[in-house]
């Protein structure tokens, strides 16, 4: 099972500049935890102190919003996850 | 009906079969509310004024500062200290004296938003914070006014069109409440995003093309890529969830 996580630009400083990382997992949460296992500093970017998904970040699975219950969404081999930050400037 | 001057001014639009005289007439009759006269508001207002939108109203409660001038191209060095709305109106009328420009020096809030939007066909998001965007999103849904969202940060920007009762709204897409803070941005990013917002408004008014509904378009200026994501209308959305999906 290999899932591609596409990282937001601000996360790439933790992945040696890699835009995407291949991870293992049966659902989004397992994939994110596998990603954090490879790059531990990403934990504070992706999860808040209570272990909930960073409320300023949105998860897209295969190009579609994974909301609600993003973390529980099942994934299959070849799926793509995108981590998107909310933009608020104008 | 158009004057000879208007026919000449809008010739390149009228000659397009997608717009034609009929679409140009629609633009002339339309009333657009632009929330913000800053980085996004500048290209949005300039291109809608140039395109011949009949009435543009701009609301902004700020004055022009030197630090605005890297991106807020409606305002020039000589305007520092002036109300942004007055600076904006001056430029827009000089660009196109055929249109009407109304201004409001009010910052949009929950108490004034419903009244401010009275009588407008389209609402364009040119704000610099998400809290006020949520207020506008809710008001647009209540008043059934199409809402054209745009936002920027650094070299990145995004756009999505919201048709109340039919498509995903801002709250269907966003669930957090980021704090209002100073954001980095290069002026060319606001130009790209604001220009796309103006394009979407023109398409909507003329009734042409495919709108960015249920689609979030993300622009990355550093990698020079556009990406598109699907956003679903959330039946439980706290802003639009009680409106029946008519599609």
CA distance A49 to A43: 10
Look at A90 and B128 and tell me if their CB atoms are within 8 Å.
yes
Give the confidence band of B175 by pLDDT, cuts at 50, 70, 90: confident
Mean pLDDT lowest for which of A8-12, A39-43, B44-48, B188-192? A8-12
Question: Do residues B233 and B170 touch, judged by C-beta distance below 8 A?
Answer: no
Look at B153 and A87 and tell me if their CB atoms are within 8 Å.
yes
Q: Which residues of A touch B36 (CB under 8 A)?
A: 90
CA distance B230 to B8: 40
**B181-198 mean pLDDT:** 96
Q: Identify the CA nearest to B106 among candidates B142, B140, B62, B148.
A: B62
Look at A64 and B40 and tell me if their CB atoms are within 8 Å.
no
Check if A29 contacts B (Cβ < 8 Å): no
CA distance B51 to B201: 11
**B221-243 mean pLDDT:** 92
Look at A87 and B173 and tell me if their CB atoms are within 8 Å.
no
DSSP secondary-structure letter at B54? S
Check if A82 contacts B (Cβ < 8 Å): yes
Q: What CATH topology corresponds to B4-230?
A: Rossmann fold (3.40.50)
- What is the largest distance, in Å, between two alpha-carbon atoms of chain B? 52
Nearest-Cα residue of chain A relative to residue B231: A65
Nearest-Cα residue of chain B relative to residue A52: B176
Q: Which residues of B touch A67 (CB under 8 A)?
A: 175, 232, 234
Mean pLDDT lowest for which of A19-23, B29-33, B60-64, B180-184? B180-184
**Model pLDDT for residues B65-109, shown as the tens digit of each residue:** 999 999 999 999 999 999 999 999 999 999 999 999 999 999 999
* Residue B247 confidence (pLDDT) above 50: no
Give me the pLDDT at residue B176, please.
83
End-to-end CA distance of chain A: 41
Look at B176 and A67 and tell me if their CB atoms are within 8 Å.
no
Q: How many other CB atoms sit within 10 Å of the CB of residue B243?
A: 17
B3 min Cα distance to partner chain A (Å): 36
Interface A-B, measured as beta-carbon pairs within 8 A, has a size of 79
Model pTM? 0.95
* Residue B179 confidence (pLDDT) above 80: no
Give me the pLDDT at residue B119, please.
97
B127 min Cα distance to partner chain A (Å): 5
Over chain A (90 residues), the average pLDDT of each successive run of 10 is 93 94 97 97 93 92 93 97 94
Give me the pLDDT at residue B104, please.
97
DSSP string, B155-200: TEEEEEEE-TTTS--HHHH----PPP----B-HHHHHHHHHHHHHH
Q: Which residues of B touch A63 (CB under 8 A)?
A: 228-230
ipTM: 0.92
Which residues of B lie closer than 8 Å to A, measured between beta carbons? 36, 38-41, 125-130, 133, 150-153, 156-158, 173-178, 180, 183-185, 190, 216, 218, 220, 222-223, 227-232, 234, 236
A73 min Cα distance to partner chain B (Å): 15
Which domains are present in chain A?
3-85 (3.10.20.30)
Q: Where are the domains of chain B?
A: 4-230
Q: Which residues of B touch A58 (CB under 8 A)?
A: 173-175
Look at A90 and B175 and tell me if their CB atoms are within 8 Å.
no
Give me the pLDDT at residue B243, please.
60
B154 min Cα distance to partner chain A (Å): 9
DSSP secondary-structure letter at A47? B
How many percent of chain B have pLDDT more than 70? 98
Give me the pLDDT at residue B246, please.
45
């Amino acid at each position: 099972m290999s899932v591609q996580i596409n990282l937001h630009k601000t996360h790439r400083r933790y992945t040696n500049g890699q835009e995407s990382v291949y991870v293992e997992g049966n659902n989004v949460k397992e994939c994110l935890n596998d990603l954090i296992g490879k790059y531990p500093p990403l934990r504070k970017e992706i999860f808040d102190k209570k272990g909930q998904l960073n409320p300023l970040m949105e998860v897209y699975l295969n190009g579609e919003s994974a909301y609600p219950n993003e973390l529980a969404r099942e994934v299959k081999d070849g799926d793509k996850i995108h981590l998107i930050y909310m933009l608020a400037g104008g | 009906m158009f004057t000879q001057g208007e026919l000449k001014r809008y010739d390149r639009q009228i000659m397009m079969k997608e717009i034609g005289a009929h679409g140009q007439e629609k633009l002339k009759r339309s009333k657009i509310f632009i929330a913000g006269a800053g980085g996004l508001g500048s290209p949005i207002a300039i291109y809608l004024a140039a395109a011949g939108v009949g009435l543009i109203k701009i609301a902004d409660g700020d004055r022009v500062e030197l630090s605005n001038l890297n991106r807020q191209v409606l305002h020039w060095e000589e305007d520092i200290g002036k109300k942004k709305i007055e600076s904006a109106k001056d430029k827009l009328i000089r660009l196109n004296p055929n249109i009407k420009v109304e201004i409001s020096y009010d910052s949009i809030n929950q108490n004034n938003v419903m009244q401010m939007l009275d009588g407008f066909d389209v609402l364009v998001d040119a704000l610099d914070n998400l809290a006020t965007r949520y207020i506008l999103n809710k008001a647009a849904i209540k008043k059934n006014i199409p809402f054209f969202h745009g936002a920027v940060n650094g070299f990145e920007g995004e756009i999505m069109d919201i048709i109340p009762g039919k498509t995903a709204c801002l709250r269907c897409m966003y669930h957090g409440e980021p704090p209002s803070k100073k954001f980095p941005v290069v002026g060319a990013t606001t130009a790209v995003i604001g220009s796309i917002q103006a394009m979407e408004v023109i398409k909507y008014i003329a009734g042409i093309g495919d709108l960015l509904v249920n689609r979030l378009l993300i622009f990355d200026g550093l990698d020079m890529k556009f990406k598109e994501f699907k956003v679903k209308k959330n039946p439980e959305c706290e802003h639009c969830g009680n409106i029946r999906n008519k599609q």
